């Protein structure tokens, strides 16, 4: 039985009640498609909104098995905020089947998207001809904030001044974060800003902050890595003088260990691409995620303890 049949069956029960209007002291129900966006929406919404996230920390928002609980959240929401640019290919169908009649905001739709780098090496399939990971550039997220505030204003006019004020305050924090990231990179020579990741999720970070991310073909969590793919990765690390290797979605630690042995480039930690960490983790908010990734990258590239590659 497909997940959609389960959803359809449960929706009959959900729609029998329908969404209830929020009372004066009840936060407005708002749904965000994935954890990173959920944090951004909550920053703008403050205490007047209750943000539910469809794809929580540690889960993959590209490919989603919709649950009855998620369908109920959508049916009850006044506003659904998603990324757009094809990131959540599963969402339009969910909105339709849930009978969602509220405000459908796609924060990145209509913005200029990058093409995928095209080197291959996907940790999972991206069914797009555009790269949807725009949040890796802080300036892109800043551009979402007025749109989020206005969508919340349309659903809750009484809270509008507060939403706008919160959006402005948060924008100030993100501007400072963006400046902090740039200042950190200024200390790393451009020629040394080369890292390996498995998942092509950092194209916007690369474009905004001047770092090269290499994700060679054949290394994937979906397919078993081939010996040929690993050999190609090893050659590329040596040829490019890559100084840092990061795990993001390579599930097999033996592959990382093997690449480390063959190249002398040790895995330098974990980057958060498409999801926050759970609460208490190192990337529990969008700001913390960007700081964690940036500091992990800069530490790995600047570390005096790094292994120099032999000629």
Find out whether 158 and 253 touch, Cβ atoms under 8 Å. no
Q: Which is nearer to Zn ion, 178 or 274 (CB)?
A: 274
Q: Give the range of 188-196, 211-219, 230-238, 267-275 binding Zn ion by CB under 5 A.
A: 267-275
Encoded one letter per residue, x for contact with Zn ion by CB under 5 A and - for no contact, window 190-209 reads -----------x--------
Q: Which is nearer to Zn ion, 274 or 287 (CB)?
A: 274
Inter-CA distances, 15 with 49, 71, 189, Å:
22, 10, 58
Q: How far is the CB of 17 from Zn ion (least distance, A)?
A: 35
Report the C-alpha gap between 187 and 15 in whole angstroms: 56
Q: How far is the CB of 6 from Zn ion (least distance, A)?
A: 26
Q: Does position 274 bind Zn ion by CB under 5 A? A: yes
Give the three-state DSSP class for 131.
strand
Q: How far is the CB of 277 from Zn ion (least distance, A)?
A: 16
Q: Which is nearer to Zn ion, 201 or 265 (CB)?
A: 201
Find the farthest-apart pair of alpha carbons in the chain and give their distance in angstroms, rounded: 71
Inter-CA distances, 257 with 236, 264, 300, Å:
16, 10, 17
Q: Which is nearer to Zn ion, 31 or 201 (CB)?
A: 201
Q: Does position 214 bind Zn ion by CB under 5 A? A: no
Interface residues for Zn ion in 159-188 (CB under 5 A)?
Answer: none
Q: How far is the CB of 54 from Zn ion (least distance, A)?
A: 15
Q: How far is the CB of 62 from Zn ion (least distance, A)?
A: 5
Residues in CB range of 208: below 8 A, 6 or more apart: 136, 137, 138, 139
Q: How far is the CB of 35 from Zn ion (least distance, A)?
A: 13
Q: Which is nearer to Zn ion, 156 or 274 (CB)?
A: 274
Residues in CB range of 245: below 8 A, 6 or more apart: 195, 196, 237, 256, 259, 260, 263, 265, 266, 267, 268
Report the interface residues with Zn ion, using CB under 5 A: 201, 274
């Amino acid at each position: 039985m497909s997940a959609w049949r389960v959803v359809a069956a449960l929706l009959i029960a959900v729609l029998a009640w329908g969404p209830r209007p929020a009372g004066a002291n009840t936060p407005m129900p708002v749904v965000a498609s994935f954890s990173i966006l959920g944090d951004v929406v909550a920053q703008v919404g403050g205490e007047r909104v209750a943000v539910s996230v469809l794809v929580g920390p540690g889960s993959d928002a590209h490919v989603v098995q919709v649950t009855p609980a998620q369908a109920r959240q959508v049916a009850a929401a006044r506003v659904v905020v998603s990324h757009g640019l094809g990131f959540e290919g599963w969402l339009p169908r969910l909105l339709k089947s849930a009978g969602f009649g509220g405000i459908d905001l796609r924060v990145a739709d209509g913005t200029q998207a990058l093409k995928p780098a095209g080197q291959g090496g996907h940790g999972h399939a991206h069914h797009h001809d555009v790269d949807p990971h725009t949040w890796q550039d802080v300036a892109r997220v800043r551009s979402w904030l007025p749109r989020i505030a206005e969508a919340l204003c349309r659903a809750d006019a009484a809270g509008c001044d507060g939403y706008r004020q919160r959006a402005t305050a948060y924008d100030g924090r993100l501007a400072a974060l963006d400046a902090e990231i740039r200042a950190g990179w200024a200390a790393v020579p451009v020629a040394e800003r080369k890292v390996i990741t498995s998942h092509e999720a950092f194209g916007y970070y690369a474009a905004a902050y001047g770092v090269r991310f290499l994700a060679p073909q054949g290394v994937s969590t979906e397919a078993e890595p081939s010996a040929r793919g690993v050999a190609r990765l090893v050659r590329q690390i040596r040829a490019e003088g890559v100084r840092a290797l990061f795990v993001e979605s390579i599930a097999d630690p033996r592959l990382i260990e093997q690449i480390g042995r063959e190249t002398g480039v040790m895995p330098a930690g974990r980057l958060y691409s498409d999801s926050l960490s759970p609460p208490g983790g190192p990337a529990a908010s969008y700001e913390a995620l960007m700081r964690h990734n940036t500091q992990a990258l800069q530490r790995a590239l600047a570390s005096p303890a790094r292994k120099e590659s032999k000629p």
